[in-house]
Structure 1
Amino acid sequence: MLVRDDLEACNRLIVDRMQSEVSLIPQLAAHLIAAGGKRLRPLLTLSAARLCGYRGARHVKLAACVEFIHTATLLHDDVVDESALRRGQASANALFGNKASVLVGDFLFSRAFELMVEDGNLEVLRILSAASATIAEGEVLQLITQNDTTTTEAQYLKVIEGKTAALFAAATEVGAVVADQPSARQAAMRDFGMTLGIAFQLVDDALDYSADQAALGKTVGDDFREGKITLPVLLAFQRGDDAERDFWRRTQEERDQGEEDLAHALTLMRRHGALDDTIERARLYGEQAIAALASFPDSAEKTALADVVTFVIERAR
């Protein structure tokens, strides 16, 4: 890995900054942070900075900041979604309770902002703080559209741009900012992160119906049980007949679900090509992400970022 040393430094910093005299905080934080996550978002910050020619150390703190924001949102999301699994093991809220998970999530957000301030760059602070607000907006918008089969694809896209892609975009953009790249290059890195993040979430939404639990790292069918209106549901609903639409209204809007309903939902999605088309949509966004790198000269770092796109899409196999 090209940024192995950087990532190891980032991991050390994460462990150091999640410490507290209040013992439950590092205990709960370590449960999630040490659970084998891919560190994809901090890896993007580190790789983007190196692609842009940066040779200092500021990007390590910013990568840790990005991971703290991500981890805080995971803790909060699992409480909202009442999730029992995260990364293949019991979620923090299942083990420690909702109150502790929310409060430790707040602690990690605070640590992230400390790292932003330590960097001392107002543009970096603007990008990451704006992303934090956008993530919250995306989650609230998802709450509003949940259980509503009249949700449009445009509304769905706005949800995933907010709750997922905004942090990808910020993670890559700050890599260009610390390298003092011109605004066009900063925008290109932001576009790369945004389209990669959308592709990532599209694949995740398809995997919630088609993966096995061990591979997914969380309970398969969570989105269905919670009534989240994701693209596979939208496509199956739009393409279905009246009886099929009644099924989606009953299971997603009324939350009236029986033991066989998840399997039937998957049957309908396959019948109408909803999962395949969701993955194809992800591929198109992946192509946009790679195209955003066109202005950068060929390098090992550029190849590595293109490989990240491939990795994100190929999770659907």
Structure 2
Amino acid sequence: MFVSLGIRFEALVEALNMSETVGNYSRHRRVPYIIKDEDGSYRSVYVPAISGESIAHAYQVLLAEEAIKDGLKVCEECRRGEFFKSMNRNLARRKGVVDGDDFKVTERKIVENCVVEDIGGFLLAEGNPVKRTSAFQVSYALPIKRAVMASVVDPQLHARHSIAPEAREGSREGASEQMIYYVEIGTAIYGLVFNIDLAAIGVSAYGDKILSDNEIKKRQVVALKALLRMLSSKQLGAKLSRFFPHEEIKTMFATVSEKPFTVSSPLEDTFIQETLRRAKVIEEKFGEKIAIYGFSKEFDLPEEVVKLETPEEVILEILKHVEE
């Protein structure tokens, strides 16, 4: 089972993904973006963005929490939100891997002992390398095309104050009692794609089933619950303590298919219609049924789409496919 989601969300005054700090200035991540002018020519502009790495980190933190809550195995590093995975032999040994294990045995032991490494993948690069590709894929969150020129990055001025200069340590003598700093904030309507191959969970890179059907089902449920938790709680990105964004999901569109099928890019206003046309071709040519669910405050959803009232309900409908 393969699940694909196209999500459009509004984020006002956010600092969810900072790329660097130089002196007292923290920069928001920017990426090059191609736009088409009225005369048909193309040009590039730089726009605010949230990296796929940032989104993937947030998802895996919640994946670990949901797995622990449901009594599933999670390694010590992933429990702490430190996703080193089994990057070297020392970490792999903590999952029962011993010198002399071949790649199949190594992968099996690691997958058995950590849900996050099963779903999020790992690369053991030391010695004989063992690679497990992540079961989920996530794009950068980028401004939608209709509103790309309305997206903005703006530096906000802040100040720190010392109210007791006489108590300052000797090494700080001469330092300014007022310290200004800047944090760039972004505002945009973002679009992103999130895919997860539920059929890859608990299965080796070579197609062999590693876990029991019952354990695989538990992990598939946890994978979707973590996704629901991330989208509902908005616990995604950096600087949430003091720059928690005014955020709202505008549209969520999801497909559930037997084989990999990805929704069209939500950066386009026509992505729902384009996805439906593509799904129809797959159904006609390959005889595969694709279930389609949607929530939107922007569009009137076509009749082919199962319409739902909240983004959370979209994920709950997908969960039914696993729990059946």
TM-score by length of 2: 0.29
Quick check: which has more Rg, 1 or 2?
Answer: 2
Higher helix share: 1
Higher strand share: 2
TM-score by length of 1: 0.29
* Structure having greater relative contact order (Cα 8 Å, sep ≥ 6): 2
